[in-house]
Amino acid sequence: MAQGTPRSEQGGTTATTSGHPSGHALLDGVSRVTLGTVQFGLPYGVANRTGQPDERMVTEIVAAALEGGVTSFDTAATYGTSEQVLGRVLHGLGVAERVTVVTKVRPLAADESGSPSLALRAIEASVAESRCRLDLDCLPLVLFHREADAVHLDALVALRDRGWLRAVGVSCDNRPGPAARLAAHADVAALQVPANVLDPRHQHAGSFAAAAALGVAVFVRSVYLQGLLLMPEHEIPAALVPVIPVRRALAAIAAEAGLSLAELAVRFMLSVGPAASMTSSPNTCRSAGVSIQPGSITLTLIRCGASSAAAVNAIWLSAAFAAAYGAQPACTTAAWTLEMKMILPRPPRATM
């Protein structure tokens, strides 16, 4: 674990060093939906059938997202040309200084991870390159792309204190324990975690509630499992067919409530609370402007059959699905209806 003073010993939930913003302040510039941009830099996603969008399409996607109220964008040093493309498009639209760009340090090599001096050099180089590619002097939020690299959190904090970035965070894996410990660290302003209706481990373990109580922003990735929840059933890879009965059960529940499966998946994750921002990554601008109303919150999403940013590796589902959910995964209507109670029924439509 990274060295530093626990948040609880720094005078409350907004404690940070050098006057930098906490998660609470960070949330002021983060929309409930974050546009994932991995597909801007490389072909991505198990359900991706359209490939990598060109820069004209990227501009259309970003412009539609901005029009719909999206103010936060997720990218990373390892997402091919994503940072360069996103930077050019945001500057071209004149909004680069008015949005929250979330990027990530490239994963450290084994020799770098084992040496504080090499780690510091690699982290500094990665952040410097991201600043250049995005054409931003100060990056709004930088995460460690790999949870294990957070042992070098102090190196990223030092760059924050030099003015290279405003806030520090970590992209976590499926295990709730490390996420909870990182959320309690005084210098961590944000976490990114994988979660969806088929993998609610962070939600059940209280990760979202704990982060909210500590003033830590949470970005949720893998809402559609790389599009696995949305792709046509006949296109699901053979290794992933165990998901089909569960997906059918979810679709039936969604239909009973007058929702699409995509909308149910989104509303499920939006129900975790206002501290979370859901990451969605479109490949095209089809069906832009789909409105979703969880409770009193109205959000406009860019909705298509594409992937979510930095999603759970599809192999996880095929290799560990049986271990996590049983050889024949149970997904009864009663159980899922109970799980959905916070977001159903759908708000009534206005009558003419």
Interhelix angle 207-214/176-183, rounded to 10 degrees, is 10
CA dihedral 180, 182, 184, 189 (to 10 degrees): -120
Q: Over 70: is that where the pLDDT of 177 sits?
A: yes
Higher pLDDT, 346 or 200: 200
| pLDDT interval class at 283 (50, 70, 90) | low
Span 91-97, average pLDDT: 96
Q: What is the pLDDT of residue 79?
A: 93
| pLDDT interval class at 90 (50, 70, 90) | very high
Q: What is the pLDDT of residue 51?
A: 64
CB 218 within 8 A of CB 208: yes
Structure-token match 């302040």, residue found: 25
Residue type, 46: V
Span 314-341, average pLDDT: 34
Span 167-177, average pLDDT: 92
Sequence-distant (6+) residues with CB within 8 A of 232 are: none
Helix residue spans in the chain (DSSP H):
23-27, 38-41, 55-67, 82-92, 110-113, 116-134, 153-161, 176-183, 201-204, 207-214, 243-256, 261-270, 314-325, 333-339
Q: What is the pLDDT of residue 81?
A: 95
What six digits make up the tokens of 252?
């039936």
Q: 31: which DSSP letter? A: -
For residue 201, the tally of other CB atoms under 10 A from its CB is: 15
Q: Over 70: is that where the pLDDT of 332 sits?
A: no
Interhelix angle 243-256/314-325, rounded to 10 degrees, is 80
| pLDDT interval class at 132 (50, 70, 90) | very high
Q: Which CATH class is domain 10-233+261-319?
A: alpha beta
Higher pLDDT, 207 or 1: 207
The pair phi, psi for residue 274, each rounded to 5°, is -70, -10
CA distance 251 to 240: 17
Q: What is the pLDDT of residue 347?
A: 39
Q: What is the pLDDT of residue 104?
A: 98
**At 206, is the secondary structure helix, strand, or coil?**
coil
Tens-digit pLDDT profile for residues 258-272: 778 887 788 778 777
Q: What is the pLDDT of residue 44?
A: 55
Q: Over 50: is that where the pLDDT of 325 sits?
A: no
Q: What is the pLDDT of residue 209?
A: 86
Structure-token match 């002097």, residue found: 137
The pair phi, psi for residue 72, each rounded to 5°, is -130, 145
Q: What is the pLDDT of residue 276?
A: 72
CA dihedral 165, 185, 274, 346 (to 10 degrees): 120
Span 77-81, average pLDDT: 94
The pair phi, psi for residue 159, each rounded to 5°, is -70, -35
Q: What is the domain partition of the chain in residue ranges?
A: 10-233+261-319
Q: What is the pTM of this model?
A: 0.76
CA distance 89 to 96: 8
Most confident of 157-171, 243-257, 283-297: 157-171
Taking CA atoms, 196 is separated from 79, 160, 221, 227, 273, in Å, by 22, 31, 8, 11, 14
- Whats the size of the chain, residue-wise? 352
| pLDDT interval class at 117 (50, 70, 90) | very high
| pLDDT interval class at 296 (50, 70, 90) | very low
What six digits make up the tokens of 45?
């996603």
Q: What is the pLDDT of residue 312?
A: 26
What integer best gives the mean pLDDT of the chain? Answer: 73
Span 251-259, average pLDDT: 77
Tens-digit pLDDT profile for residues 16-55: 333 334 555 666 778 888 888 988 987 654 444 556 788 9
Angle CA(234)–CA(230)–CA(195) in degrees, nearest 5? 130
Q: What is the pLDDT of residue 266?
A: 80
